[in-house]
Structure 1
Amino acid sequence: MAGDDQRVASRTATRRPPSPYPSWFYLPAAIIYGALFLFPTIASLFFSLTRWTLFDATFIGLDNFRQFFSEPFLVQGLVNTLIYAVTTSGLKVVLGLLLGVLLTSQIIGRDYLRSVVFFPVLVSTVGVGITFTAMMHPTQGVINTTLALFGVPGPGWLTDPRLALLSVALVDVWKGVGLATVIYMAGIVSIPLDFYEAASIDGASAWQKFWAITLPLAMPATITVIILSLIGGLRSFDLIWSMTRGGPGFTSDVIASVIYKQYQAGFYGLSTAGNVVLFVLVALIIVPLSIFLNRKQVEL
């Protein structure tokens, strides 16, 4: 026994320290992450506290942020961003779920309909914006021309301050609901058929199956769609810019379009502060929401 103890102690004493070699595989990813995310983020935080040009930077503290929240059109852009994000994400969740249920059922032409629903996701956002701008023209657009055939006066979809932001949001939903549908389809087909067979034996209706089985068991897909749609809505720029340029006036401006306008005007420090505000806004909304939804998923 004593000899065994000595051999074990000897092995322990001569055991080599762990090699750092496996950790080297993290190095390329860490370099890329630092160069493309950490460094730009830290640089943005610094330049948001300055009045800067390409060749000079003067530290001014929080003046850019004070100015940002004191300008009415900048605050309006913040409000519009929240409205736009909530509207588009809500509609994508509802329509994506309904289409997901429809396109996983036994209907005629299911594969063709799946392609039709997903096709807008593949189209260029700027191309979609230009196309719908022409279609929504108040006098010559296809939509109002069609409505006129039935004696219905078409509104100014992109020229009416009350409708401009909502019109762009509906186009965003049309383009993005295909991705939400695919996510829901993946979530629905992963639900075991045994649950539905047991519910049928118990005499459950189609609505009861949807409410008691499909909806709760598709919660991971719902969480994914909500998070992705909210992030996309909060950061949306290209569709809004290609359709309205933030107009009429500032009624359809969002934070991203306001930031771009400030860059165009040469207010680099103010626009950088807007970028920081957008970053903080996304983080404050997405991180707590993600934690809350994942906890709800575990409870289910």
Structure 2
Amino acid sequence: MVTTQHAGPYTGPGTPDPVRRHARTPAKQSSAYPFALYLPAAVVYLAIFLVPTVMAFYFALTRWTLFDSTFVGLDNFRDFLAEQNLRIGFQNTLIYAVATSGLKVVLGMGLGVLLTSRLRLRGFLRSVVFFPVLVSTVAVGITFSALLRPDTGLINRVLALVGISGPDWLGNATTALLLVALVDVWKGVGLATVIYIAGILSIPQDYYQAVAVDGGTAWHRFRHVTLPLSWPATYSVIILSFIGGLRSFDLIWTMTRGGPGFTSDVIASIIYKQYQAGYFGLSTAGNVLLFVIVTALIVPLNYLLGRRQVAL
């Protein structure tokens, strides 16, 4: 007796189209997680970001205190844009953001390459490089302000030992903002380095082996493999550092308070000075303008860098 086993529906050339289509098309899958799991994150996002943002846009159109508010339309924006130091603050903000993000990219990549090489103490050195990231920004600002004091600062005392009279580093209009930017880089380059380490370690070793087979040097490995294939890390560091530079306030305020005079003022410090003076609506309008400026700069930059990332 001959028995046959049922092996499922036949989907050969003679099979009608509906049967074949049903056999090949997978069933529609629902979301990986129930909608209820997204709800807590949505509530937090709504409460922490969306609601304060909408309220800020409203209060920017008012003169307000803790107890009342008066609608004034666009007067706050007009007054803030008429601020005499705004041009200097905007210029300093751009210089600060470009300088700090550029240095973090260059130093972060260099340290990333070094700390992914066959180095004996690379684990310890990674910890040392990342340590400043963990320190409070205010504490860093106070510490470096003490080190850079013209009379009692450690840096000028060391220079005095070799016969050099150190200047007033933070009291000089030409060096104040530059030194704050360098301290910012020292504090933030550890995060950039960690991002680069992750990006470099994700590159398949086959590419490096191919360069070695072709007789390439360490420079060829960096130029043709590490540099282009670590672009996602570069993209992340540029965006994060540039946004941080545009919004930077705490380190600048701790070290120079926008001085000497107004030479190291940035947009955020101008906003804070207005808030200190009791012009709450004016400072809120400044925050809204800063939000618009950051968005206007970051969105096209993100688009351009993202296109290059896709092309690679």
**TM-score over 0.5 for the alignment?**
yes
Structure 1 SS opposite 2:263: coil
Output aligned runs, 1:85-234, within 5 Å: 85-234=97-246
| 8 A Cα contact 1:136 1:143, kept in partner | yes
Structure 2 SS opposite 1:107: coil
Structure 1 unaligned runs (5+)?
1-17
Distance in 1 (CA, whole Å) between partners of 2:34 and 2:116 is: 44
Count of residue pairs the alignment pairs up: 281
Structure 1 SS opposite 2:166: coil
Among 37, 46, 59, which residue is 1:47 paired with?
59
**Segment of structure 1 superposing worse, 55-64 or 220-229:** 55-64
Letter in 2 for 1:179: L
Of all paired residues, the percent bearing the same amino acid is: 68
Which is helix-richer, 1 or 2?
A: 1
Distance in 2 (CA, whole Å) between partners of 1:199 and 1:24 is: 50
Give the corresponding residue for 1:266: 278
Letter in 1 for 2:296: L
Deviations, residues 163-211 of structure 1 (Å, cap 9, x unaligned): 1111111000000000100100010011111111110111112112111
Among 61, 67, 72, which residue is 2:73 paired with?
61
| 8 A Cα contact 1:68 1:75, kept in partner | no
Give the corresponding residue for 2:13: none
Among 45, 48, 61, which residue is 1:36 paired with?
48
Structure 2 SS opposite 1:161: coil
Give the corresponding residue for 1:7: none
Letter in 2 for 1:69: L
Output aligned runs, 1:4-23, within 5 Å: 22-23=34-35
Letter in 2 for 1:258: I
Deviation of 1:23 after TM superposition, in Å, equals 3.3
Structure 2 unaligned runs (5+)?
1-29
Structure 2 SS opposite 1:26: helix
Deviation of 1:22 after TM superposition, in Å, equals 3.8
Distance in 1 (CA, whole Å) between partners of 2:210 and 2:35 is: 50
Structure 2 SS opposite 1:51: strand
Letter in 2 for 1:105: S
Letter in 1 for 2:98: V
Deviation of 1:71 after TM superposition, in Å, equals 1.4
Deviations, residues 195-248 of structure 1 (Å, cap 9, x unaligned): 111101111121121111100000000011011111111111111111111111
Structure 2 SS opposite 1:153: coil
Structure 2 SS opposite 1:158: helix
Deviation of 1:108 after TM superposition, in Å, equals 3.1
Give the corresponding residue for 2:5: none
**Segment of structure 1 superposing worse, 192-201 or 144-153:** 144-153
Distance in 2 (CA, whole Å) between partners of 1:269 and 1:78 is: 20
Structure 2 SS opposite 1:286: helix
TM-score (ref. length: structure 2): 0.86
TM-score (ref. length: structure 1): 0.90
Q: Give the RMSD, CA atoms, in angstroms.
A: 1.5
Give the corresponding residue for 2:298: 286
Letter in 2 for 1:59: F
Deviations, residues 239-262 of structure 1 (Å, cap 9, x unaligned): 111111111111111122211111
Larger radius of gyration: 2
